[in-house]
Amino acid sequence: MKVVSVVGARPQFVKLAPVAQALDGAGHEHVIVHTGQHYDAAMSDVFFADLRIPAPDVHLAVGSGSHGVQTGAMLAAIEPVLADAAPDWVLVYGDTNSTLAGAVAAVKLHLPVAHLEAGLRSFNRLMPEEHNRVLTDHAADLLLAPTEVAMNHLANEGLAARSELVGDVMTDVCLQVRDAVAGDAPPAGLDRGGYLVATIHRAENTDDPDRLRAVVAALEALPVPVLLLAHPRLRARCEQHGIELGTGAVVVADPLPYPAMVGAVVGSRGVVTDSGGLQKEAFLLGRPCTTLRTETEWPETLADGWNALLPGLGGLDEVAVRPAPTAARGIPYGSGDAASRTVEALARRVVGE
Ligand code: UD1
């Protein structure tokens, strides 16, 4: 079986790592196409190095732009690569503009396309990621879902026949990395168990200057140190609107490589974020998470208060430092074998075999 993976943004590299390993382990041919959506070393190269992902076979160097410009440039650049490779499957990951571009390029060429992390929904049609998820799921031939909830969403949209539950590949990686970093010292000289890890990068928190100012002020006012791992988008918007980062409780730092990020969460007392992946990682690592959004694509994390949605910011100073719940967390994201189940599902459904 020949598979082309289309990736481009940070969370996709994490998802690619166990899939690349499983494809290689089963002796399949794998071509990695990097769109170049993320291009800073800290957002791209370190993930390939740390997670031992083979270097991309093709790098399209598309870079940043408005949604239409960026997605359109990717679409045009991916098409000849896929036509030339003629794989059994084009595999797209998650919900970024790279996902949508890869899916559209593949269907237009009548190449079978599989969507990994299918069926997630926020039901918030203002989110670019929601457009990307819905459009990709409806274009794809095989929908590889991480959870039962995702399977239900796909069934509700008439897509059950194309859907298969494989578990969450980010869980595979998180569980593999967790034990290796458990003893690492917390970053920036922070005390173990005494700080919060924060990330903010979603358009709904960064693009409106009043909202951005309120989010940064709420983090500054927290009663414990806040390690703010600043995504380039956050830094760019703060600079644009004259918002200073790194005052009050906030200790500002660059985005961390994946193992260091897992280590930082393990060493923390909790997480404040608007990232989807980090909500889940906090849950898997047993740290309470506060999510600065109105909804989550990972509702399993809300069970027993492990994750709390706090879009209004009111009471953040208490909610963010609440103790970890004592309730057991269950295993809604699978037990770490989602990548091998993904590869089995692809191999079973190769058209013409
Ligand atoms: C993208 C995804 C989002 C994902 C996030 C993970 C879409 C619509 N959004 O958001 O779902 O959670 O990646 O990080 O695809 N920039 C740099 N260097 C880089 C990349 C970006 O400086 O390597 C800056 C640029 O100013 C750019 C901005 O960040 O304009 C936004 O980048 P973009 O790729 O458009 O979206 P993200 O916010 O990273």
* CA 282 to ligand 1 centroid distance, Å: 22
95 touches ligand 1 (CB under 6 Å): yes
Residue identifier of the C-alpha nearest atom 7 of ligand 1:
96
118, 202, 128, 152 alpha-carbon torsion, rounded to 10°: 30
Q: Please state the pTM of the whole predicted model.
A: 0.96
Give the pairing of strands 58-59 and 142-145: unpaired
307 touches ligand 1 (CB under 6 Å): no
Q: Which helix (H) or strand (E) holds 307?
A: strand 307-309
Q: Do domains 2-168+334-352 and 177-319 have the same CATH topology?
A: yes
135 touches ligand 1 (CB under 6 Å): no
Q: Among 37, 254, 278, which is best to mutate for testing ligand 1, by the most ligand atoms less than 8 A from CB?
A: 37
* CA 231 to ligand 1 centroid distance, Å: 8
Amino acid type, 243 = I
* CA 233 to ligand 1 centroid distance, Å: 6
The answer to whether 217 and 292 are in contact (CB under 8 A) is no
The answer to whether 343 and 23 are in contact (CB under 8 A) is yes
Q: In the CATH scheme, what is the code of domain 2-168+334-352?
A: 3.40.50.2000
Q: Among 38, 60, 207, 296, which is best to mutate for testing ligand 1, by the most ligand atoms less than 8 A from CB?
A: 38
Count CA within 13 A, CB hemisphere, residue 337. 4
Instruction: For residue 187, give Cα distances in angstroms to 108, 231, 253, 255, 309.
Output: 47, 17, 9, 12, 26
3-state helix, strand, coil in the chain (%, to 5): 45, 15, 40
* CA 132 to ligand 1 centroid distance, Å: 14
Per-residue pLDDT of the chain in tens (353 residues, 90 and over written 9): 999 999 999 999 999 999 999 999 999 999 999 999 999 999 999 999 999 999 999 999 999 999 999 999 999 999 999 999 999 999 999 999 999 999 999 999 999 999 999 999 999 999 999 999 999 999 999 999 999 999 999 999 999 999 999 999 999 999 999 989 988 999 999 999 999 999 999 999 999 999 999 999 999 999 999 999 999 999 999 999 999 999 999 999 999 999 999 999 999 999 999 999 999 999 999 999 999 999 999 999 999 999 999 999 999 999 999 999 999 999 999 999 999 999 999 999 996 65
**Boundaries of every domain in the chain:** 2-168+334-352, 177-319
Specify the 3-state DSSP secondary structure of 253: strand
Catalytic residues: 201
* CA 38 to ligand 1 centroid distance, Å: 6
Name which of 12, 1, 2, 9 is nearest 115 in CA terms.
12
Q: Among 12, 59, 62, 64, which is best to mutate for testing ligand 1, by the most ligand atoms less than 8 A from CB?
A: 64
Amino acid type, 132 = N
Q: Which CATH superfamily is domain 177-319 in?
A: Glycogen Phosphorylase B; (3.40.50.2000)
Name which of 318, 326, 333 is nearest 286 in CA terms.
326
